[in-house]
Chains A and B, each alone.
Chain A
């Protein structure tokens, strides 16, 4: 159903390994946090129903499934994204420096029709660590970078504390919604192979 497809918003989360992508998703969708870090295994995508201006949408948040470790995310991962979330760890400079690469990679791979205006949201995560004492990426620095890339919204979050996560994702959802289906091809009926037609018996033919 055309409408069904349009109600689904695909959001992808990019960023170096260990910046807390999976944790942010989990905190937002399941309100859970695990202190134990392991490189992502088993995370696929999470969905959450959101309401916006009286309409219900399904936010589908895609994790990298660990394929980012060796920069080995395939083009399929990027396709059809309505919003791209870039995450860095405010305590790791390298993760912030990678944002440019991730953004570029996204624009090449997803090749959105209007790259200038494609919605990104940047999250500076782990602001809780060590009471903020180990922080190396300042809010100012991050905001400056965001401004230089076309005023990308910026949020400082703590997946562990749940701080600002809700607000960040609200913004993500809104931006995803604004990103109108970029090409006609998203709208017509696609075939969901998981929905099989009921077998019809040859019995009654009335």
Chain B
């Protein structure tokens, strides 16, 4: 039964177990011989059954049974074929063997799997299977094999989701500490809501009942996590926007941008969505300029870990040479042509058409020399709010969200979440409960997200406080809370123009403005472990993230204008963690000094970053060529090669990382980056 520990052998058992082992060995030998020789006689099957009864985890034995089953069914005589009882008896025998195996071990994957396989062949009574399950699940209510099998049988038998939902209700009523039952409930409800089955639509009414149902569980025993997990799912169902929406772009809607001619004739256009989407191409999104409509536009996803999809997408537009004229302004209009073609990963189309336009003008570039760029406080002065760039920035906060949702529905959501917030605030006044705090934090954030589009965030302080408490209360999950804390903090900082401006600084010297832009966003020394809110930061050219606790810079790839990036004094442990940089083609200045790159030969914390690069990058043979002649150890620099190889860095700081202890690495970098002028503060010759 569930949770029953296996007994350890007592000395008295030893003789018996030695005997048993000998018996198993002999059975096994005979069985393998049969298997090898494709013998599927009755005797051979009986032998196999005996073996499985002793050791239900022996996969080969189950596979043999499948072969034997197919063999015996296909090789039966005509008379037997006509006799449905014969097939039935073969099937019954299989089911019996499975039952015996399950008696031995009710968690045997092989046995459950075999049962599924046999039953899926048809000809067996699903009614009987269901009865059996009812009996079994009464005895072992949380066995997830049984729950899985139940879903399988319910599917075969076409049992309505409503009926199965009632079964989960009964099981939960019996004992609500049952993850499997709650999980199955969420699966069933997802189906019902998707299909908009009568009685489950509108989903508001139904979700309200579910909130009450699960509230009984979490209030009765806040320490029991199964209910909380279900609550999490409910919250997700409540707040999730059902379709992808384009939420931000570079250049922003209605903006005027000015490009220096000498430096660039191409510029990036970035589209930023509320979730990861796929399907952007010249058919789904059109780009229109005054002179001509660009047909051969390529949209590329900015994503380190998934092919063909991303939250941010980029294309590069170029202004034809012959048209370069400082006095001319080009109007660019970007429009969704076929918004059905842009879909979320689960296939929900972006059904709201959208369009925006901006104006581009060019100016002559005053030729400037490239001096060393520093991020020290002395380099900056407070920002002049009359700066032209500020106007650009402003447009990120003027977005008015169209009322894309049913007003009553969104009112309901807001009320529902507000009432949940009140309930759980009360619960937390008397119950010290980690997952309750986490839930409250999420509810508060969900509430804010619905309330505000551009308006100030009201609950952030409370949320930050909750995450801070959680970091203390629950050290094993410290990093998770820390990350959430960082994301909320960033949300707060980017919530409005005024608040964001506090972190914007102006370069005192204008010598390198063509590289840095006029504003540097300084998010240094904020103890951030992750970064987010990119939709508000697409304009950033110069970013200081030093003296934080970053493990990952995932998402940074959306900031296509980024040319200066300071990541010094963080906790980056490998070049893999820098993978987003590969997409930042404008990057000129990079400071990754004083991190932990190279400290871990095998980066066991890779999961914190995007997936290992080997999955997304094909091996570049030119690296071998490049490394040719050098020590074989250069192979270790492959990661650095793959990140920096495509960049034109002019300034790089890597000092203070374990990897630079290897002198060859420095030489390698110099060779890899021919444009490099400054390395670790030293000018290169």
Q: Are A and B direct contacts in the complex by CB distance below 8 Å?
A: yes
Q: How far is it, in angstroms, between the C-alpha of A203 and the C-alpha of B144 when the chains are bound?
A: 15
Complex Cα spacing A103 to B4, Å? 52
Assess A201 versus B177: contact at CB under 8 Å? Given A206-B142, A206-B144.
no
Check A205–B179 contact: CB distance below 8 A: yes
Closest-CB distance, A203 to chain B (whole angstroms): 5
Distance to closest chain B CB from A173 (angstroms): 30
Residue of B nearest to A200 (CB): B3
Judge if B483 is at the interface, Cβ distance under 8 Å: no
Give A184-205 interface residues, CB cut-off 8 Å to B. 198, 200-205
Instruction: Assess the A201–B5 pair: CB atoms within 8 A.
Output: yes
Q: Which residues of A contact B3 (CB under 8 A)?
A: 200-204
Roughly how many angstroms separate A205 CA and B227 CA in the complex, as a whole number? 12
B1 located at the interface, meaning its Cβ lies under 8 Å from any Cβ of chain A in the complex:
yes
Q: Which partner residue on chain A sits nearest B225 by CB separation?
A: A205
Contacts of A203 in B (CB 8 A): 3
Q: Please name all residues of chain B whose beta carbon is closer than 8 Å to the beta carbon of A198 when the two chains form the complex.
A: 1, 4
Residue B226 interfacial (CB < 8 Å): yes
Name which residue of chain A comes closest to B178, CB basis: A205
In the complex, A202→B178 CA distance in Å?
12
**B180/A206 in contact, CB under 8 A:** yes
Contacts of A205 in B (CB 8 A): 142, 177-179, 226
CB distance from A145 to the nearest CB of B (A): 50
Question: Which residues in window 162-199 of B have CB below 8 A to A?
Answer: 177-180
Nearest-CB residue, chain A, relative to B3: A201
B633 on the A face (CB < 8 A): no
Asked if B2 CB lies within 8 Å of chain A CBs, one says: yes
Q: How distant is B183 from chain A, measured CB to nearest CB, in Å?
A: 10
Give the chain B neighbours of A206 by CB distance below 8 A. 142, 144, 179-180
With CB as the reference atom, state the residue of chain B lying closest to A202.
Answer: B3
Contacting residues of chain B (112-151) with chain A, CB-CB under 8 angstroms: 142, 144
Give the chain A neighbours of B178 by CB distance below 8 A. 205
**Complex Cα gap A200–B1 (Å):** 8
Q: Which of A203, A204, A205 has the most CB of B within 10 A?
A: A205
The chain B residue with its CB closest to the CB of A198 is B1
Interface centre among A200, A203, A206 (most CB of B within 10 A): A206
Q: For the complex, what is the distance from the CA of A14 to the CA of B28, rounded to whole Å?
A: 57
B212 to chain A, nearest CB (A): 23
Q: In the complex the two chains form, what is the Cα distance from A84 to B179 in whole Å?
A: 53
Closest chain A CB from B403 CB (angstroms)? 43
Task: Give complex CA distance A204, B180 in Å.
Answer: 12
Q: Which residue of B lies closest to A197 (CB)?
A: B1
Bound-state Cα–Cα, A201 to B140, Å: 12
A205 to B226, CA, bound (A): 9
CB distance from A136 to the nearest CB of B (A): 58
Q: Which residues of B contact A204 (CB under 8 A)?
A: 2-3
> Contact flags (1/0) for B3-18 with A, using CB distance below 8 Å?
1110000000000000
Q: How far is the CA of A202 from the CA of B226 in the complex (A)?
A: 13
Taking a contact as CB atoms under 8 Å apart, the answer to whether A201 and B4 are in contact is: yes
Q: How far is the CB of A205 from chain B (nearest CB, A)?
A: 6
Chain A min CB distance to B109 (Å): 13
Chain A residues lying within 8 Å of B226, measured Cβ to Cβ, are: 205
B263 to chain A, nearest CB (A): 59
How far is it, in angstroms, between the C-alpha of A203 and the C-alpha of B1 when the chains are bound? 13
User: Which residues does chain A contribute within 8 Å of B1, judged by CB atoms?
Assistant: 198, 200
Shortest CB distance A196–B (Å): 12
| A202 CA to B142 CA, complexed, in Å | 12
Which residue of B has the minimal Cβ distance to A203?
Answer: B3
A200: which B residues are within 8 A, CB to CB? 1-4
Could you say which of A198, A200, A201 has the most chain B C-beta atoms within 10 Å of its C-beta?
A200
Chain B 214-251 residues near chain A, CB threshold 8 A: 226
Give min CB distance, A192 to chain B, whole Å: 16
Q: Which residues of B contact A201 (CB under 8 A)?
A: 3-5
B5 / chain A contacts, CB cutoff of 8 Å: 201
Q: Which A residue sits closest to B107, measured CB to CB?
A: A206
Cα of A202 to Cα of B5 in the assembled complex, Å: 11
Complex CA distance for A198 and B2, rounded to whole angstroms: 9
Nearest CB in chain A to that of B226: its residue: A205
Inter-chain CA distance A198–B106, complex, in Å, is 15
Contact with A along B268-312 (1 / 0, CB 8 A): 000000000000000000000000000000000000000000000
* Distance of A203 Cα from B2 Cα, bound (Å): 9
Complex CA distance for A38 and B5, rounded to whole angstroms: 50
Give, as a whole number of angstroms, the nearest-CB distance from B221 to chain A.
12
A153–B87 alpha-carbon span in the complex (Å): 47
Report Cα–Cα, A198/B180, bound state, in Å: 20
Complex CA–CA separation, A204 to B144 (angstroms) = 11
Which B487-513 residues have a C-beta within 8 angstroms of A? none
Considering only residues 1-53 of chain B, those with a C-beta below 8 Å from chain A are 1-5
Which residues of the partner chain A approach B177 to less than 8 Å between Cβ atoms?
205
Q: Give Cα A202–Cα B224 distance, bound, in whole angstroms.
A: 11
Give the contacts of B66-82 with A (CB-CB under 8 A): none
Q: Which residues of A contact B144 (CB under 8 A)?
A: 206
- How far in angstroms is the closest Cβ of chain A from B178? 8
| Alpha-carbon gap, A201 to B226, bound state (A) | 16
Q: How far is the CB of A160 from chain B (nearest CB, A)?
A: 43
CA distance A206 to B180 in the complex (A): 7
What CA separation (Å) do A12 and B68 show in the bound complex? 53
Rounded to whole angstroms, the CA-CA distance of A24 and B213 in the bound complex is 63
CB distance from B480 to the nearest CB of A (A): 21
Q: Which residues of A contact B180 (CB under 8 A)?
A: 206
Chain A hits for B2, CB < 8 A:
200, 204
Q: Which residues of A contact B142 (CB under 8 A)?
A: 205-206
Collect the chain A residues with CB atoms within 8 Å of residue B4's CB: 198, 200-201
How many angstroms between the C-alpha atoms of A161 and B179 in the bound complex? Answer: 65
CA separation between A201 and B4, bound complex, in Å? 7
Chain B, Cβ-Cβ closest to A1: B135
Proximity bits, B471-485, A CB within 8 Å = 1, else 0: 000000000000000
Complex contacts, A202 vs chain B, CB 8 Å: 3
C-alpha spacing A114/B142, complex, angstroms? 47
Closest chain B residue, CB of each to CB of A201? B3
CA distance A62 to B180 in the complex (A): 47
- Give complex CA distance A155, B4 in Å: 53
Whole-angstrom CA separation of A166 from B50 in the bound complex: 38
Q: In the complex, what's the smallest C-beta–C-beta distance from A3 to chain B, in angstroms?
A: 12
Q: How far is the CA of A98 from the CA of B5 in the complex (A)?
A: 59
Once bound together, how far apart are the Cα atoms of A204 and B1, in whole Å? 12
Bound CA–CA A205/B144 (angstroms): 10
- Chain A residues near B179: list those with CB within 8 A: 205-206
* Distance A202 CA – B4 CA, assembled complex (angstroms): 10
Please measure, in the bound complex, the distance between the C-alpha atom of A198 and the C-alpha atom of B177, giving whole angstroms: 18
Chain A residue with Cβ nearest B224 = A205
Nearest CB on A from B180, distance (A): 7
Taken together as a complex, chains A and B put the C-alpha atoms of A204 and B5 apart, in Å, by: 10
A204 to B2, CA, bound (A): 8
Nearest-CB residue, chain A, relative to B147: A206
| Complex-state Cα separation, A201 to B2, whole angstroms | 8
User: How would residues 566 to 610 of chain B score, 1 for a CB under 8 Å from any chain A CB and 0 otherwise?
Assistant: 000000000000000000000000000000000000000000000
Ranked 10 nearest A-B pairs via Cβ: A201-B3, A198-B1, A200-B3, A203-B3, A206-B144, A204-B3, A205-B179, A206-B142, A198-B4, A205-B142
Show 21 residue pairs from A and B whose CB-CB distance is below 8 angstroms, ordered by the A residue.
Answer: A198-B1, A198-B4, A200-B1, A200-B2, A200-B3, A200-B4, A201-B3, A201-B4, A201-B5, A202-B3, A203-B3, A204-B2, A204-B3, A205-B142, A205-B177, A205-B178, A205-B179, A205-B226, A206-B142, A206-B179, A206-B180
New contact pairs (8) apart from A200-B1, A205-B179, A206-B180, CB-CB < 8 Å:
A198-B4, A200-B4, A201-B3, A203-B3, A204-B2, A205-B177, A206-B142, A206-B179
